Amino acid sequence: METEQVAKPVKFSKPHRFRFVSKTVSSAPLAVFRVAFGLMIFVSIVRFWSKGWIETLYIQPLYYFPFYGFEFVKPLGGYTYVIFAVCGFSALLVALGLFYRVAIVGVFLSFTYIELIDKSTYLNHYYFVSVISFLLIFLPAHAYFSVDAYRSKRLLADKMPQWCLDSVRFFVCILYFYAGLAKVNTDWLVNAMPLKIWLPAHNDLPIIGFLFNYTWVPFVFSWVGCLYDLSIPFLLWNRRTRVAGYVAVVVFHSLTALLFPIGMFPYIMIVTALIFFSGEFYQRIIAFVSPKVSLPTEFIYPRSTYKLSSITQQLLIGVFTLFFAFQLLMPFRYLLYPGELFWTEQGYRFSWRVMLMEKAGYTQFMVKDRTGKQLIVNNNQFLTPLQEKMMATQPDMILQYAHILQDYYSKHGFISPQVYVDSYVALNGRLGRPLIAPTTDLANVSDSFQHKSWIIPFNDEIKGF
């Protein structure tokens, strides 16, 4: 809970439950976050574009793996560049705080659309960006230090309801805490897997590389990583430990950036954690900067509070309550499925499970029909290397691919083709074994949220969350 902000006197005495809702807080942290977040998205888009990934990930593939229920999201061919341009441009507008509401809706829709095209590119931090931009749609992040506020005195406010800021903070806390909770399992803590595999790959780094030859080092990294994720929400929330917490954030994410190919994620998190700093902290920076760039005093100290009408406010509180209930429950949906989560991946995505598995697989598909025709599929003919790699370890993608093959071969000389897969998957240092029942005709199976009974059960147990 914020301690540095004194609650404004409330005009009407409200019932107890509205006390939190009526507290106000400086607009500065959310405004700074808006600027930083917009710039990070913009940089991400530029980086993605300049690496040629739009072409290789969204234009070159012949087939895509849409998410269940989102099959209507289709790749747009050459127009994919347009949607990236829209996203990048909107992100810049968000940073500037110009036409903010339209811009943030633009970021949310374009970014989410891109991420829904193909499961093989799923990353937790993309989901994070989508969810944060969804939250920001409803928040007055443009009420302060924005072009919109500069142009509209009515909008300009250096205070806003506290829940507006705290909802973003709370969401970031969920992310860290759940990521930590997911590490409380026997593979991570008892076997130091998968870090035991990943760290020795960096034993040639200058200065710290030699450490990765010691068998105890992955254990230290695993335990520290787990404790870090679990404790960071509290360290950042508490004023007394905030600076230490932020230093930990910078150290931890810089280290992961150095060791693992995770792109923008560490930097986005380092920037995101800034939202925990207090209004006073930012006010001091602004007070220092604004005379130098000669911003009018009334723009910096408008002495007004952003107000929502009570109906809007109650509506939003309702939406946010549902949203957070969803966020808190969604990662636990795996409990509804039998079998080992890491093996079946039923309920694995959208749950802040990061860096938990070294999983590699190999699949060979056989297509046959009742006339006795049969062939072994060359996966390269249909999938990109990334798609093949992702598909090989994830049952729902294996099924989608089987249906791609079914469609293709029913148009290419096979009469109601049957599709079988010979799969082999290794998880966290265990010797590989078949993932999918080789006798199941996957052409005959349709995807659903039901348990996939054609996954061969895992022959080991990973205890924990």
Q: Which residues bind another protein (CB under 8 A)?
A: 53, 56-57, 121, 123-125, 194, 196-198, 200-208, 211-217, 220, 250-251, 254-255, 257-258, 260-265, 348, 353-362, 373-376, 385-386, 389, 424-426, 429-432, 459-460
- In this structure, how many other beta carbons lie within 10 angstroms of the beta carbon of residue 326? 11
Nearest distance, CB of residue 150 and another protein, angstroms: 33
Cβ of residue 396: shortest distance to another protein, in angstroms?
14
State the Cα–Cα distance between residues 384 and 56, nearest whole angstrom. 9
Distance in Å, CB of 266 to another protein, minimum: 8
Sorted by sequence, the CB contacts under 8 Å of residue 205 that are 6+ apart come out as 212, 258
Residue 40 vs 139, nearer CB to another protein:
40
Task: State which residue, 109 or 217, has the beta carbon closest to another protein.
Answer: 217
Of residues 51 and 153, the one with the C-beta less far from another protein = 51
Closest alpha carbon to 182 in 382, 404, 357:
357
Residue 321 vs 374, nearer CB to another protein: 374
In 3D space, the residue among 438, 188, 195, 458 whose CA is nearest the CA of residue 345 turns out to be 458
Contact predicate 218/238, CB 8 Å:
no
Measured from the CB atom, the residue of 323 and 434 that comes closer to another protein is 434
Shortest Cβ 217–another protein spacing (Å): 8
Smallest Cα–Cα separation from 106: which of 81, 129, 88, 123? 88
Using the minimum distance from each CB to another protein, give the nearer residue, 237 or 342: 342
Nearer to another protein by Cβ, of 159 and 196: the residue is 196
Both tokens of 280, joined, read 């006073």
**In angstroms, rounded to a whole number, what is the distance separating the alpha carbons of residues 137 and 140?**
8
Toward another protein, which CB reaches closer, 354 or 399? 354
Supply 442's token pair. Answer: 């996957």
Q: How far is the CB of 274 from another protein (least distance, A)?
A: 15
Which token pair is 377?
């599929």
Rounded least distance, CB 378 to another protein, Å: 9
Residue 76 beta carbon to another protein: minimum distance, rounded to whole angstroms:
19
State which residue, 213 or 312, has the beta carbon closest to another protein: 213
The distance of closest approach from Cβ of residue 318 to another protein in the complex, given in angstroms and rounded to an integer, is 33
If the CB atoms of residues 203 and 241 are measured against another protein, the closer one turns out to be: 203
Q: Give the shortest CB-186-to-another protein separation in angstroms.
A: 12
Distance CA 169, CA 174 (A): 9
The owner of tokens 């294996």 is 398
Min. distance of Cβ 18 from another protein in angstroms? 40
